[in-house]
């Protein structure tokens, strides 16, 4: 059974993951509108991943015989001056998500809720990867700043990114 504090925090995290999806969808649409199909692809995949993260949390809350309470999703930014600016915003956002996940882990640990602690390990590892990916993209776009051919080639490279179902959902056949 989830403690009331952890239950509320997990529901807040579900909302945060759905906001993240909306945020990345906005970035994808902005990049698409500017003809940056590879950048758009990268963010459309991020959009799907964040939806999956929300789904993993929803499945977990339900598996603990608790209720998922969806809240309204707050407005997101809709335009960026460059892919570099997008990825800088991405890194800052992912750092905030990492803090949220760490808070969940702290609550679970304080509750001696080993099942929740175990589930959160996947998200802790995921956040390390998310921040690392954003840093790599910042470095790449910083390196080609002002170079149209470099931007073109990097955009082509990002177009090759493919979606992979997160392991907690793949294990369930979702």
Q: What is the pLDDT of residues 1-53, one digit of tens each?
A: 899 999 999 999 999 999 999 999 999 999 999 999 999 999 999 999 999 99
DSSP H helices in 34-164 = 37-63, 83-110, 114-143, 148-158
Residue-wise burial string across 14-45, b where 16 or more C-beta atoms lie within 10 A, e elsewhere: bbbbbbbbbbbbbbbbbbeeeebebbbbbbbb
pLDDT at 147: 93
Tokens of residue 64, six digits: 């603990």
Which pLDDT value is given to residue 171? Answer: 75
As a whole number, mean pLDDT of residues 82-92 equals: 98
- Return the exposure string of 120-155: e unless at least 16 CB atoms fall within 10 Å of the residue's CB, then b: beebeebbeebbebbeebbebbeebeeeeeebeebb
Q: What is the CATH number of domain 4-167?
A: 1.20.1260.10
The verdict on pTM exceeding 0.95 is: no
Q: pLDDT class for 167, splitting at 50, 70, 90?
A: confident
Mean pLDDT of the chain: 96
pLDDT per residue as tens digits for the range 54-75: 999 999 999 999 999 999 999 9
- Residue 110 φ/ψ, nearest 5 degrees: -65, -30
**And the tokens for 157?**
């490279």
Position with higher pLDDT, 169 vs 122: 122
More confident residue, 18 or 173: 18
Instruction: Report how far residue 40's alpha carbon sits from residue 33's, in angstroms, rounded to the nearest whole number.
Output: 9
Query: Are 22 and 76 in contact, with CB atoms under 8 Å apart?
Result: yes
Residue 153: is its pLDDT beyond 90? Answer: yes
pLDDT of residue 136: 97
Do 111 and 5 contact (CB within 8 A), yes or no?
yes
Q: Which pLDDT does position 67 carry in this prediction? A: 97
74: left (phi over 0), alpha (psi -120 to 50) or beta: beta
Confidence label for 168 from pLDDT (cuts 50, 70 and 90): confident
Domain ranges within the chain, ordered by starting residue: 4-167
pLDDT, average across residues 151-161: 94
């Amino acid at each position: 059974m989830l403690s009331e504090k952890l239950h509320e925090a997990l529901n807040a995290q579900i909302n945060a993951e759905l906001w993240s999806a909306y945020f990345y969808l906005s970035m994808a649409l902005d990049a698409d509108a500017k003809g940056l199909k590879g950048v758009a692809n990268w963010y459309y995949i991020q959009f799907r991943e964040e939806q999956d993260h929300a789904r993993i949390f929803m499945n977990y809350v339900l598996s603990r015989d608790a209720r998922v309470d969806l809240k309204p999703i707050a407005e997101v930014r809709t335009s960026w001056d460059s892919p570099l600016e997008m990825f800088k915003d991405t890194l800052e956002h992912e750092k905030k998500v990492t803090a949220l996940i760490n808070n969940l882990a702290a609550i679970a640990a304080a509750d001696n809720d080993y099942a929740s602690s175990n589930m959160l390990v996947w998200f802790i590892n995921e956040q390390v990867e998310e921040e690392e990916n954003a840093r790599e993209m910042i470095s790449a776009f910083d390196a080609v700043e002002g170079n149209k051919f470099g931007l073109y080639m990097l955009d082509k490279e990002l177009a090759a990114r493919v979606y992979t179902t997160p392991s907690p959902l793949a294990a369930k056949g979702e």
